[in-house]
Amino acid sequence: MSFSSLADLGIALLYLLGALIFLAGILARKSALKRCATWITACGFCLHSLSLGLKTAAQPQEAISQGHFYFSFLAWSLLLIYLFLWWRLRLQFMALTAAPLALILFTPSILVSTQPLTIPSKLSSLWFGLHIGALFLSLAFLAMGFGAGLVYLYINRQIKEKKKLGPFRRDIPSLGTFDRLNHLTVSVGFPLFTLGLLSGFIWAGFTWGDVFSWDPKELVSIAIWLIFAYLFHQRMAIGWKGRKPAYLTSWIFVLCLISLVIVNFFVPSHHSF
């Protein structure tokens, strides 16, 4: 078995252990287990970074032409944002979202066989890299907003119905903390999504000769951008807080996943895997 295959299995195992041990730490109310789980996930991220770096450095054109490379890169982006939030904001609880989602997104890079993608024109490589990088970082922020939104809605409902929060009550941050995370998701995620979309259209102009070609992926992406723009306006200009942005952020992330899976795999498109 090659180093690449061993590394992929090791990454998946570390992400799985991180998710399970963190959940066990919450259920057993053991801070040591939660810290251990976070560091295990961080080790998986380091191995993941090394693996992506070696694959890209060895055969860059071949690496980026494989559809499963992008699932791996998206999982890496998600962990990058989570570890940043853990470091800066001490939002360790979001490991319940980050580790499982990273594992789910990384798994197709091992198990799913995809057709080679055509990445033409050296002139367009900058725009392509900007397109992928900005969109994936935006999706990573949306994933964190998705997790925060679901927990916010759950806590809000439990409080209104005067029910107990169960075994998670001592570990769950305040509603205000989740709302601040939603604010960060929207304020950073939307500009990144916009940058990724615009650079994608510019790259399409270099690659296919048309900035906009009525491709299904383009139409879905524009629809998601419009919803995201509405949320950005309502959150930043109108001052939305609480349940509404939590709900809408969660749905935007779900729509992004539907676009990523349904359009890329099952709809004829320039972006098909």
* Tokens encoding 239: 């001052």
Chain-centroid distance, C-alpha 44:
16
Do 56 and 4 sit in the same domain of this protein? yes
Q: What is the pLDDT of residue 112?
A: 58
pLDDT in tens, the chain (273 residues): 666 778 888 888 888 888 888 888 877 778 788 888 888 888 988 998 888 888 777 665 555 556 567 778 888 888 888 888 777 777 766 777 777 888 887 876 666 555 555 555 544 566 677 878 888 889 888 988 888 888 888 888 877 877 776 656 666 777 888 888 899 999 999 999 999 888 888 877 766 666 667 777 788 889 999 999 999 999 998 888 888 999 999 999 999 888 877 766 666 666 554
pLDDT at position 101 is 80
DSSP string, the chain: --HHHHHHHHHHHHHHHHHHHHHHHHHHT-HHHHHHHHHHHHHHHHHHHHHHHHHHHHSHHHHHTBHHHHHHHHHHHHHHHHHHHHHHH--GGGHHHHHHHHHHHHHHHHH---PBPP---GGGHHHHHHHHHHHHHHHHHHHHHHHHHHHHHHHHHHHHTT---GGGTTT---HHHHHHHHHHHHHHHHHHHHHHHHHHHHHHHHHHS-S----HHHHHHHHHHHHHHHHHHIIIII---THHHHHHHHHHHHHHHHIIIIIHHHS-STT--
pLDDT of residue 122: 47
Are both 123 and 108 inside the same structural domain? no
Q: What is the pTM of this model?
A: 0.79
Would you say 76 and 49 are in contact if contact means Cβ atoms under 8 Å apart? yes
What is the per-residue pLDDT for 123? 45
Measured in residues, the chain has a length of 273
The per-residue pLDDT for 55 is 75
Residue 106 and residue 3 share a domain: yes
Instruction: Specify whether 172 is located in the same domain as 255.
Output: yes
Last residue of a domain, one of 113, 140, 172: 113
State the CATH number of the domain containing residue 154.
1.20.120.1770
Task: Give phi and psi for 118, each to the nearest 5.
Answer: -95, 120
pLDDT of residue 87: 74
Residue 117 has a pLDDT of 53
Closest listed residue to residue 245, CA positions, set 150, 165, 155: 150
Same-domain status, 15 and 61: yes
- Judgement on whether residues 81 and 156 belong to the same structural domain of the protein: no
Domain C-terminal end among 113, 141, 176 = 113
Per-residue model confidence (pLDDT) at position 154: 82
Domain boundary among the residues 113, 138, 169 is at 113
**Which pLDDT does position 194 carry in this prediction?**
94
pLDDT at 270: 60
pLDDT at 68: 66
What is the residue range of 105's domain?
1-113
pLDDT of residue 223: 92
**How far are the Cα atoms of 93, 162, 247 from residue 153, in angstroms, in the given order?**
16, 14, 7
Residue with tokens 């304020």: 187
